[in-house]
Each structure stands twice: as C-alpha cells, then as structure tokens.
Structure 1
Amino acid sequence: MLSRSLILIVSMQLLFSISFGQDKFRDSMLAVIAVQKEDTNKVNLLNKLAYETRQQDPSSIDYAKQALVLAKKLNYTIGQAQSLKNIGLFYIIKGEYVPAQEYCEKALAEFTKANDLVGESNILNNLGSIQFNMSNYSKAMEYYMKSYEVAQLAKDTFRIATVLNNIGIIYLDKPSTRNLAIDYINQALEMGKKINDRGNMGLSYMNLGDVYFAMGNDSAAFYNYIKATEVFHPKDEMFGYILNSIGNLYLKNNQGDLALKYYEEALKKSEELGIKIYMAQSALSLAEYYINHNDPNKAKQYFENALVYAMEMKAGAELKRVYGGLSRIYAGRGDFAKAYDFNNRALHLTDSLSKFDADSLRLQYSVGLKEKEIELLTKDKDLQELEIKRQKIAKNALMAGLVMVFVIIFILYRDYRNKIRINKILDKQKEEIEGLLLNILPAEVAHELQRDGAATPKYFEHAAVLFTDFKSFTKMADVLSPQELVAELNECFMAFDDIIEKYSLEKIKTIGDSYMCAGGIPTPDPDATMNMIKASFDIIEYLKHWNKKRIEKGMTPWELRIGIHVGPLVAGVVGKKKYAYDIWGSTVNIASRMESAGEPGQVNISASVYELIKHRYDCIYRGKISAKNIGEIDMYFVNQEPANEAKIA
C-alpha cells in the first residue's frame, strides 16, 4: 500500500515551520494590518498571516479570503494567486479535497497569468498531492511531472527536490520499481542537504523508511524513521505518520506493547493538529492491533472512527482497509449479512494508479528468453553426447562408424526441421501479439511498449478531440433487443473507424453510444483539425445513407450530434490488466460539452476550432456555453460546403 508521507508537500516551503508563540504572532500581525492602507502590502500581510496560522487557527481561511477580496479590488494578480493557494492549503490540511482542488486550480490560473513559474510549479505539486491523497495516482503523477518540468524551467531547487520526493513515493507501490523509488528519494535528500532545507530532508528520510519497510529491510527503515524524527519538530503534522510507521515496525517484530504505545501516540498527535489522513491511518493501526489481540469490540470502535475520517476525505485505500476489517468483525459475530456487505464494498474499491503496469509483460518476455536459452543448451548437450558416441564407435569399426554418421546426420536434420517449425510458430505468435497491440494502441505507443517494456505519458500542446452521440438513444434502446442494438451500433462504429483511419485520426474509445477520437496524437499533425472536420462530414454523410435504408424498411432513423474542440491534453496508456490508450485534460471535457450542446446532423465546434478553419469553412455563430473552470466559450456550426477562397482576407 502506498505511503501517505507526502500529502502535505504543498507550500512555498514545506509545512515544517511551527510557531511556538502563534497567538502573540497573530495578535501583532493583526495590529499591523489594522492600520495598514488598502494596498498590496495589506494583501501580502493578510496572506502571510493566513499561511503562518494555517495549522492551528480556524480563522486562517478568513484572513486568506479577506486578502482575496482586496487583491481582486486592486487587480493584484499575484496577491489573488497567493490567497487562492492559502485557501486551498487550508482545505488540504483539513482533508477536504474537493474544495482544495477547486481553489488550487483557480490559483494555478492566476500564477500562469502572472507568468510566475515558481508559483505555478508549487500549485501543480499541490494538485498532485490532492490527487494522491484521494488514491488517484495516475492523475497525481501527471501533475507531479508537469510540476517537475516547470520547476526545472524556474531553476527552483527546493521545488525540484519536493517533486522528486513525491514521484519517488509513488514508485513505492510496485516491488519492481522500489529501487527506482529509492533513487528518486535519495536525489531529493541530496538536494535538500545542498540547500539546507530540513523539510525536504525530513520528508526524504521518512519516505526512505517507507520504501525499506516495504522491502523488508527493517533496520534501514528504523534508521530512516529515527532520522526523520530528529529533523522534524514534534509538533509537525508529519510526526503522527512517523510514530505510526515506527509502531508498524515494532508490531512486525512481535513487540506488541511498544507498537500499541506508538499507535496511541500517533493518533493523539494527529488529532491535536486535525490531520484526518493520519488520524484515519492511526485508527486503522489500532483497530488491526486489537483485532489481532482478540478484542473485536475495541477494534470495531477504531474501525468506525477510521471510517468517518476516510469517508470525509474519500480516501480509497483507507476505506478498503476499513471495509475489510469490519467484514471480518461481523463475520466473527455470525452477522454474515453485514460481513458480506462490507466485503462487497472492499472488493469494489480499486486504486487509480496514474503509471502503466508493464510488470507481467516484462516477466513473460523474460521467461520466453530463458526458455529459448534452455532449449538451445539442451540441444547442444545432446549433440555433444552423440559426438562422443560416434567417436567411440568409429574406433571399434569403420562400418559401424559410417552407420552412426548417417544416424547423426538424420538426427541433426530432424532437429533442424523442428527448429525451423518452432521458429515459424514463434514468429507467427509474435506477429499476432504485435497485431493485437496495434489494434488497441497507436503504432508509436505499441512500438515503445515492445522496445522499453513501458509507455511514457506525453503532453501535447495542440490536439483535436471529437465526440459523437446519438440523440434519444435510450428510447431507441428500449424498442430493440440487445442483439439488434449491439449489431446496429457495431455497424455504425465500424464505419466511423474506417472514416477516421482515412483521415489519420486516432480512435480513443466508445462509451455506450458515444464515440471519441483525437487528432494530432501520438504524432503531432498540423492538419489534424482540418482532417477532423472532413471526417465529421463523412460520418454525417454515411449516416444519411444508412438512415435512408432504415426509413425504407420502416425503421426509426438515428440522429447524431458531433462536437469538436482543440487544445492541450495528456495522452498515455493506462490500466492494470487491460491496456487502454486514453487522453485527459480540459480539452476533452470541452469537446464533450460541444457535442452535448450540438444538434443532430450538425458539427458543433468551439471558438478555438473556428479560428483554425474559418478561412476554409463558412460557420454560423450560435452563442456561448459555460464550462467549469474555463468560463464561457463561443460555439459555431460548420457548413458542409467550404468557404469561397475569395473570402480569404
């Protein structure tokens, strides 16, 4: 199970500095702010107060909101960004990740507007930490990699060290990548030492402890946990996690009394600071301790406490442990209905790990190579034994030797034929595997997967996304049998496949009656948007002919909406058991909104698409649509006939 040791790496400096005279500091700051003019200095002072009191003062969010109101009034972009970041930080500390995500995204927009690379990297890292705490590891890795790129551009050593720590701890999950995790975390530790940043140093020691614990190296784990306690202050929010981890080490080594002591202290520390993720983990440790020491009543109490914290944070990994524990308790009591219910909930909780799992493919490939090596060694050994026998027979009699030569030649020939036959079978299987990969993945991605054993997610600055959807599909589905429905959908989607292949577009997936494709990935293509418009009209034309045949048979025609948007997105391979090439980003969401706001038989496009095609196609403006976190977006219908070239100015 992945560690939670990096969830609070979210600020311009690590959440490490603990102010002992916080009340005195707050009062003195409020006194200064009270006489300060309504200017940018007052915004900065309010933001400083919000940040420094974020851990223990519930009013810290009020200070940040006051700063935000004044910054907007002054049109002070950096002040707005810092205020939004502090509000998001407040919610992260409280474990309320939905509002935290919302405010961090707003802060990112303001930092980007101000061209503040350090702030941008900071917020991208915060967003990654939010996704990590919600067990959405794939999305977390996407944010961390982007934060790392921006930090390098800004030459921000602190931020680079922070993100290296975060990336390293994600790699802890898989045994095959734990050495990689150690490498990333050690890089972060060295950077922390270089700039004397005790926050990153302490976090690195703590993360190394987690990795070594997972690898079974208890002495190395204990050493690093103790180093972390030496670096962190006892009132730091990470301290509860470290105490819980040390408790796990003692429990593993059959020192239950010490384990219980550390678990109780970890819960107490976490409750003092209100860090819900660590409260959930400590409560889970205590619950599992008591269930293993035959005290199901206490175990149930702690499981229920952990459930409250985990539900508030939507923490998937912790919820899975809670459900599993409660299932065992109710089963022990003979209440099999509740036991079944909680077991069912546990089974349906799955981790969303943002990186591609290629372990089984590498293993199969390695085993295949070993089998070939063994086969060749076995054949060589047989040939050597035959050669020795032939020499012995040749010494006894020339005739017998000649006979043996012919026997050997025959055996060699038979082995040779067998080898040719086996190689043909292997070549055929290889072609089938390659063909299967090419059917489910783009050629470039499939080749990278075969070559490297993994496919790296990529960021595309400019890509086009198309969605289609059949109007009133649910009503049509009600009057058709399942077999008829699937057969007709399949006929349409196969035709769509041929059309997008014709225009060098990439099919992404189908969801029910929706069809999704993209252009400009995995290889950038400047003609992708224009090709997508052409493909859209081919799809509409195909459906006209298809519906004409349906009407002649007295059947209801199918009406199709099409929506297109262009912009940046991330594309890559996801999945743990079944590979899938997918795309993410606001561009995908806006394309979906274009489709849902469209009309049957029309191609509905966003303003960004319109700017790219207006010189080639006549378009009809049809108003605006609101998109979350984006604002209002202009929409256009595209006329099927291209605009007259004489109209180009």
Structure 2
Amino acid sequence: MKPLFVTTLLTLTCLFSVKAQNIDSLKTAINAMAPDTNKVMALLQLSKEYLNIEPKDAIPFAAQARDLSSSLSFSKGAALAYKYIGIAYYQQSQYIEALENWRQSLSYYESLKDLTGIANIQSNIGAIYQNQGNESKALEYLFNSLRNAEQAGDEFRIASALINIGSVYQHKAATYDKAVQYYQRALPMSEKLEDNDQIGTIAGNIGEIFLERGRTDSALYYLKRAEKAFENTVDIASVLINIGRVYENIKNYSIALQYYQEANNAAVKLDSKLYETRAQKSLGAVYFATNNQKQALVAYHQAEKLANSISSSFELKDIYKGLANTYARQKSFEQAYKYQNLLLDIKDTIYNKELDIKLSNYEFNFEIEKKQSQIDLLEKDRVLKELDIRRQKFAKYAFMAGIGLVLIITVIIYRNYRNKVKVNILLDSQKAQIETLLLNILPGEVAKELQQEGHATPRFYEKVSVLFTDFKGFTTIADSLSPQQVVAELNDFFFAFDEITERHGIEKIKTIGDSYMCAGGIPVSSEDHPIRIVRAALEIQKCMIEKNRQRVAKGLDAWEMRIGVHVGPIVAGVVGKNKYAYDIWGTTVNIASRMESNGAPGQVNISESTYELVKHEFICTYRGKISAKNIGEIDMYFVSGTRDGSSLS
C-alpha cells in the first residue's frame, strides 16, 4: 500500500495551486517588482516551482520572501516562506532543518490565529516524528492538527489528520482496531470530497489490516474499493498484489495468479520497478506452492534482476529464500546452497541498514534535545541579563537613598553568599552521583581514564571471548504483550544475566532489543576468560530452564533462547560525546552473533576456536559447519556440561 503520511505529503505540495510559468520569465518579473507583499508572493510562487523540480534550489527564493516579509511585517508571507523552506529540507531528508523551519511557520500561523495553517504545519511536524519512530510525539501533533482542523471546519484537513492518525496506529497489531476506527471516520469525508487518493489510501489500509487478521471477505471488500479508487495510478499495482495475497491465503491459486499477473502488467505500464519486483516475487511463490518449479524459477529470477536494479535488499531476502527452496525441491543442491549463502549475506546487509536507521533516529532525537537545551540556555541568559539590569537599578537607588540602605544591601550579599554555598554543596553531591553513574555505564579502568584524561583510548585485544543471546520468536511474543509487560519480562531475564556475568568476571557490553551481549578478557586481560564465559553461558541456560518452569506453572508461555560464543581479536573503546557507551568491534563480534543465530534454543553453540580453548573443561558435541562472510567455513559445537561433573551455581 501507499506509505504512511502520504496525505500529509500531498498537503505539503498541493495546498496552493500555481499555474505553470516559465521560470526565467518569472525571475525577470520579480526583479522589476517593488519590494512589497506582491513581490513576496511572487518569490513564494517561484520557490514552489522549484519544489517540484529541485528542492534545494527552492530554498534561496523562499529565504528572500522570508526576509522581505520580516521587513514588511507581513506575517502570512513569513509563515508560507518558512513552510516552503521546511518542505524543501523534508524532501531532502534533512529533518532537523525541516523541523526548525516548520516550528517558525507554526508560530506565525498561531499569531495570525489561522487554524487551517496551524493544522497543516502540525500535521507536517507529526510526519517527521512518525518517520523517526517517535509515535507518541507524532500522535501529539496529529491530534492537535485534527482539533484545529475541526475548529476551522476544513474537511480535507480533518480527513488527512484522521488518516495519518490511523497510519500511526496501523504500525502495531495491538492497535489495529484503533487504526480501523480512524480510517472509517475519514472515509465518508473523503467520499464527499471525491478525493480518490484519500479513498484509495483508506480502503487499501483497512484491507491490509483485515488481510493480516485473516478476515478475507472484509479484506476483499475494502481492497476492491481501493482498486476502483486507484485505477490508472501507480498504486493500483500494490492493491492488485494485496488482492492476490487474499486468494493465495485461501489457496485459490488460479485467481491469485491472475491478480499477480495483472499487477505485474500495471507495474510495467506505469514503470514501477518496485511493484513489478513484488508481483514477480508473488508469482514465484504461487508457482512454488503449486509445484510448478520451472515457472517459479523464471518468476524468481526476473524478480531478482528487478530487485538488483533498484538495490532493494528487503525484496532480495524473500527472493533468495524462494530460489533456495525451489532449487532444493528440484534437488539442485549446488544452486540451493548458492542462494542460501546469498540469503545469509543479505540478512547481514539488512541488519546493518536497520542499525543505520536506528542510529539515524538516535542522532535526530539527540540533535532535537541539544537544540532545545540551547533554547533553554538562551532563555536563562535573557532572564539573567534582566536580573542584572534590575540589580544595577537597585544599587543606584540604594546609593541615592543613603547610608540607611547599607544594612539591607549587606543582608542581600550575605543571603547570596549562603545560596552559593548551598549550590556548591549541591554540585558536589551531583558530581559524586555522576561518578557513580559513570562506573555503572563503563568498566572501572575505562571510567578512570575518561575522568583523568578527558577521553578513553581505543584498545586492541588479541584474544577476547564474546557471548550473544537472543530470544526465539521475540517479535511474536512482543506483539501479544503490552509495552510495559515486554519491558518487565526482559528486565527479569537481563537482571538475572547481569548477576551471572558479574559473578564470573564477565563484562556486560550492552543489550540490543531482546539480545544480550557480554565479553570476557576485557578491559583487563586474563587467561581463563573462555572457560569463565562458557560457564556463564551454561548458567544462563540453566537460569532460563528454572524461569520457564515457574512461568509454565503460572500458565504463561515459555521463552526460548539461543546462545553463541566465539573467541578472537577485537577493538574496544568508548563511543559518543554526551552519552558514553563502551562497545567492541571486529570480525569476532560478527562471528559470535552468527554462532547465536545458527544455534538452537536451549543450547550453547561455540566456534571451533572456542572449542580448542575449553574442550578439556567441557563436554562438547560437533554439529557441523557454517559459512561466514569473508572468513570461510567455521566448525561449531554444542556444549552440554562440564567434564568434572561440577554443578553450576
């Protein structure tokens, strides 16, 4: 279906209809105009023309309109100028700059009491927070947008806000009902406005929700409405693919094939490589399900070619999986092995892309917090300056009043001195708290170096043991629980893991979602860290068995976990400037992660290099090889217990 907040983006570019003009002629006309409000509007028209051609070139003209509006006290022109500058930055994915300009635009619209303009900008700001994964902040702005649109009586913006709110709720299965509720409120308004884009978006999104829930009749009803609304648009291919999915789910493969082929034809006609890729991928899946392996390979290979042309890693993941399964069914194991390896590589690529997105979101939130801090500091500085002026006036009046006020001044000075003493005591207390917090975040040696030198030097370690854990099916488990329950469950397990690793002298590195990562032999080198980390791994699995026994006794589902361990060289150091984090890097970390992902629930899976260091202490079972990117094949072993029969804590 269409991406979230599509109606917001339509609002951004389609609010003011400007007739197509020759840009050079428009520039010439502007140069001859007097510096008045008409020139402001002409500059904004020119900026809008560039928004549809090259967004970065729209900024200088909108900036001229902004400056001229400021000199003329033309608030409406300033509001539009900041809005267009924000649009240009948004289209270039420069969200911090877009947000700054839209907030300026919002302040002008608020001064004008222009409810339609306010609703528009609030919806745009909500789009930024939704893109950055901050759903609570997105909903805050979208509900304010809805409220102002309702007060203005603007049905188009009311419908847009309702659709966008539904899009946020559609992101999680637990809030599907809320999403449908807001979509169904928007649908009659969009039909009254005869806005096919809104109608298609609403119907298609509701259809997707019912499709995910397995309610095929309802899904077909809404998807058919979307098909009619999106006729002869690029989105028709997406709707046809979803209708095909409905028939594929109920195993009516012949009709599913018809819709996938129709979607492919529409995508080719409209030159949409993405939807053509998805249609071919879907055809391959149906051919595979009906044992038509020859046609499945043709479709999958065509999808592979298309996905590579648009560099779509997420589509390639499904395609490589389909090709591996199809070749395996044909007993062409060499080809199946080839695509299985490509599948593993693309999963690594997707993992890195998702990590980049998360880091980008963290950076966005950090920059927003930093800018807010700067605003707060400026406000405090203004207040302090005002206080300083008041003190000067007070001193002047005190001197004029004579010696009788000396006592009052002395009292004031003494009181200020007492306040400073209290502040110093408070600062000393806060310093002690910060030092304690730093020791909780970083290893003692690293924290000490950071305090003394102002930085921590990255270090290379020749031999470090790295352990990864991961819960099997965590996404499914998390979808069935509330956010509070998910955090409580993870805390229960991770607190227990912290106690085990601390007891064995293992350094906890970090948690990543439902994964837990720790390492032995850093920051202080030791010889027996491989043995200690394997003992810790066995104790963690023993802890999981006991906790699952308690959960089953309470009627709760058991959580299954994989553990992987590898020993090798790494680089360790502190990353970040304002928020420190001790982290490790290198091939060893990647191999440890692969040991975990290729392990089995309830088992400790170790690499060959780890096995050679601990085989005299533990009972290990050989379980085969795994292919690691840029490394080659690595032997793996399951650890089942200690050789001396000693019990674990």
| Superposition TM-score tier, normalisation by shorter sequence | 0.3 to 0.5
Structure 2 length as normaliser, TM-score? 0.45
Which protein has greater RCO, CA pairs closer than 8 Å, 6+ apart?
Answer: 1
